[in-house]
């Protein structure tokens, strides 16, 4: 994850040694590690406050480490509860006003999908149960809605005013007759104006395009001739390009 000012990237470790691991802080301009931050267990995800003063590092046991980005030191931690085991594809998202942190994950203890909601002022934690295995979460630029990608071909809509699941995006005949290709959705990015969402479909070798105002999927951009197995996705700040990582071939950028 890259800091809001673009100066540093935090790389989360996927393995641990002696029940600890280290988050690498990379100076983007110099392309080198300038600091490492020690955490317990395996890292899962990182997210920054929009103003960039703090980073939140999630580990596999449901602890979120609060890092002061000026010193790159852990200054606090938030526990989500006892006995929690966070799945590999956990994602974090923060509201535009930096008041709440959302975590979408599979909870191996309860064998249910869940979105944890953390009030960053009080550090209180609440939960929203999700039907399926969450693969990613993104919030609308106005902080009104959340969108959770479910591996089994669903995109769940959250009302952030009430922190409840209020429905799903409809598919509008996209992949009709080839429903298997919309399985195993992986990640989602929202355009800067909040009107479109782009979702990577691992099995479909495609990027799904959704109209968020109409709450429906409207198109699928086939990638199988260019790359395969699209995974994570991001949009440029001006909304003109979408960047996609692939676990099979080289990443790509598309207008």
DSSP-derived secondary structure for 196-213: EEEEEETTTTEEEEEETT
For every residue of 76-134, DSSP letters joined together read EEEE--TT--B-TT-EEEE-TTS-EEEEEEEETTTTEEEEEEEETTT--EEEEEESS-E
Token representation of residue 116: 């944890």
CATH number, domain 1-79: 2.40.10.480
Output the pLDDT for position 57.
96
Instruction: Tell me if 64 sits within 8 A of 56, measured CB to CB.
Output: yes
Q: What share of the chain is helix, strand, coil (3-state, %, to 5)?
A: 0, 55, 45
Query: For the segment 43-96, what is each residue's pLDDT rounded down to a tens digit?
Result: 899 999 999 999 999 998 899 999 999 999 999 999 998 878 887 778 899 999
Write out pLDDT tens, residues 110-131: 888 899 999 999 999 999 998 8
Domain ranges of the chain: 1-79
pLDDT, one tens digit per residue, over 176-230 is 776 666 668 889 999 999 999 999 988 778 889 999 999 999 988 888 666 578 8
């Amino acid at each position: 994850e890259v800091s809001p000012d673009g100066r540093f990237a935090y790389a989360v470790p996927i393995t641990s040694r002696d029940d600890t691991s280290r988050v690498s802080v990379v100076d983007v301009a110099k392309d080198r590690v300038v600091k490492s931050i020690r955490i317990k267990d395996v890292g899962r995800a990182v997210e920054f406050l929009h103003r960039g003063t703090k980073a939140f590092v999630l580990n596999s046991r449901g602890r979120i480490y609060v890092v002061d980005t000026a010193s790159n030191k852990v200054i606090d931690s938030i526990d989500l509860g006892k006995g929690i085991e966070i799945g590999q594809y956990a994602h974090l998202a923060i509201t535009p006003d930096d008041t709440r942190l959302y975590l979408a994950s599979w909870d191996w203890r309860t064998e249910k999908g869940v979105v944890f909601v953390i009030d960053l002022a009080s550090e209180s934690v609440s939960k929203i149960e999700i039907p399926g295995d969450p693969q990613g979460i993104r919030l609308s630029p106005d902080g009104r809605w959340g969108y959770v990608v479910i591996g089994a071909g669903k995109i769940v809509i959250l009302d952030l005013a009430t922190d409840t699941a209020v429905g799903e995006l409809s598919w509008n005949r996209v992949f009709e007759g080839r429903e298997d290709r919309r399985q195993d959705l992986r990640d989602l990015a929202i355009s800067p104006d909040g009107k479109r969402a782009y979702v990577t479909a691992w099995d479909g070798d495609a990027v799904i395009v959704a109209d968020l105002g109409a709450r429906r999927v409207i198109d699928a951009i086939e990638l199988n001739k260019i790359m395969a197995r699209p995974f994570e996705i991001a949009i440029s700040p001006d909304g003109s390009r979408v960047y996609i990582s692939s676990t099979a071939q080289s990443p790509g950028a598309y207008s």
